[in-house]
Amino acid sequence: MDAPLPRYEDDDIDDVLAYHGGDAHAAIKSLLADRDYLLLQIEIAKAAISRGFTRGWLPTLPTEE
């Protein structure tokens, strides 16, 4: 079952751009770095969590679905 994609308000986008001084390139670079970190955390959790502990469920990356 696919989870619905989150919806972002223009204020959220404006906040990210403002945090990076209006530099869209820096904002995207930062968001991609955050994404890479979270994907690594999923990989670590996947390796550390046993199937028995989660009753058969394991975390998956978006590309594995």
| Start-to-end CA span in the chain (Å) | 10
Q: Is 60 inside any structural domain? A: yes
Looking at the 3D structure of the chain, how many domains does it have? 1
Residue 2 CB contacts under 8 Å (≥ 6 apart), including other chains: 65
45 lies in a domain? yes
Does residue 48 lie in a domain region? Answer: yes
Average model confidence (pLDDT) for the chain? 82
Taking the model in full, what pTM does it have? 0.66
List pLDDT tens digits, range 26-40: 999 999 999 999 888
